[in-house]
Structure 1
Amino acid sequence: MEWTGARYADKPTVEVRTWIDAPPARVWALVSDIALMPAMSKELQSVAWLDGAAGPTVGARFVGHSRHEAFGAWSTTSHVIECDPQRAFAWAVQDPAEPSALWRFRLRPEKGGTELSQWMQLGPGRSGLSVAIDRMPEKEQKIVFVRLREFERSIASTLEHIKKQAEA
Structure 2
Amino acid sequence: MHLDSDAVDYVLSTTRSVRLRLDFERAVDPQIILDCIDIAEQAPTGGNRSSRRWIVVTQESQKEKIADLYMKAAGNWMIEARDKLAGSGHPNEKMMESAAYLAENLEKSPAIVIPTIIGTHDNSGKPGLFDSVIQSAWSFCLALRARGLGSAWTTAVLSEQDELKSILGIPNGITEIALLPVAWTNGTNFSKVDRTPAREITYFNNHGITFENGPSSPIAFTDEPGVTTEIDIDSSLSDVWRVISDINFPAQYSDEFVSAEWKEDGNQIGIGSKFLGKNANTSMGEWIVECTIDAYEEKRIFGWCTGDPSAPGARWRYELESFGSSVRVRHKVLLGPGSSGLTRIIAELPDKEEQIIMNRAASLKTNMENVLEGMKSYLEA
1:61 aligns with 2:274: yes
Distance of 1:55 and 1:18 partners within structure 2: 28
Q: What's the CA shift for 1:35?
A: 2.3
Q: Does residue 2 in structure 1 map to residue 215 in structure 2?
A: no
**Which amino acid counterpart does residue 319 of structure 2 have in structure 1?**
R
**Within 2, Cα distance between the matches of 1:11 and 1:163?**
29
Quick one: which amino acid aligns to residue 330 of structure 2? S
Deviation at 1:94, TM superposition (A): 0.7
Of residues 211, 222, 229 in structure 2, which corresponds to 1:16?
A: 229
1:123 correspondence with 2:357: no
1:111 is displaced (CA, Å) by: 5.8
Q: Deviations over 1:33-52 (max 9, x none)?
A: 11222112111111100033
Aligned to 2:17: none
* Candidates 356, 359, 363, aligned match of 1:143: 356
Structure 1 counterpart of 2:315, which letter? Answer: L
**Runs (5+) with no aligned partner, structure 2:** 1-206, 212-218
Per-residue CA distance 1:48-95 (angstroms, 9 max, x = gap): 000333353111000011101011011100000111111110001011
Given that 1:20 and 1:163 are in contact with CA atoms closer than 8 Å, whether structure 2 keeps it comes out as: yes
Are 1:53 and 1:61, in contact at CA under 8 Å, matched by a contact in 2? Answer: no
TM-score of the superposition, structure 2-length normalised? Answer: 0.43
Equivalent runs, 1:97-112 vs 2, <5 Å: 97-110=310-323, 112=325
Secondary structure at the aligned position of 2:272 is classed as coil
Deviation of the 1:147 alpha carbon: 0.4
Asked if the contact 1:90/1:105 (under 8 Å) is kept, the reply is yes
Matches for 1:144-163 after TM superposition, within 5 Å? 144-163=357-376
User: Larger relative contact order (C-alpha < 8 A, sep ≥ 6)?
Assistant: 1
CA distance in 2, matches of 1:33, 1:131: 30
Q: Write the distance in 2 (CA, Å) between the matches of 1:86 and 1:4.
A: 24
Identity %: 29
d(CA) in 1 for partners of 2:361 and 2:324? 30
Alignment counterpart, residue 290 of structure 2, candidates 54, 67, 77: 77
Letter in 2 for 1:69: T
Structure 1 135/67 Cα, relative in aligned 2: closer, same or farther at 3 Å? same
8 Å CA contact 2:313–2:340 kept in 1: the answer is: yes
Q: Is the 8 A contact 1:32 1:55 kept in 2?
A: no
Q: CA deviation at 1:149?
A: 0.7
> Quick one: distance in 2 between partners of 1:55 and 1:66?
24
User: 1:12 and 1:89 mapped to 2: Cα distance?
Assistant: 20
Which structure 1 residue ranges, 5 or more long, are not aligned?
Answer: none
Match of 2:250 among 26, 37, 41: 37
Could you give the per-residue CA deviations for residues 109-147 of structure 1, whole angstroms, max 9, x where no partner exists?
Answer: 126200001010100001001111111100000000010
Q: Which has the larger radius of gyration?
A: 2
TM-score under structure 1 length normalisation = 0.95
Q: Aligned partners of 1:17 and 1:111: how far apart in 2?
A: 17
- 3-state SS in 2 of match to 1:124: coil
Normalized per residue, which structure has more strand?
Answer: 1
C-alpha RMSD over aligned residues: 1.2
Aligned to 1:88: 301
Partner of 2:39: none
Q: Secondary structure at the match of 2:248?
A: helix
Distance 1:37 1:149 in 2: 17
Residue type of the alignment partner of 2:232: W
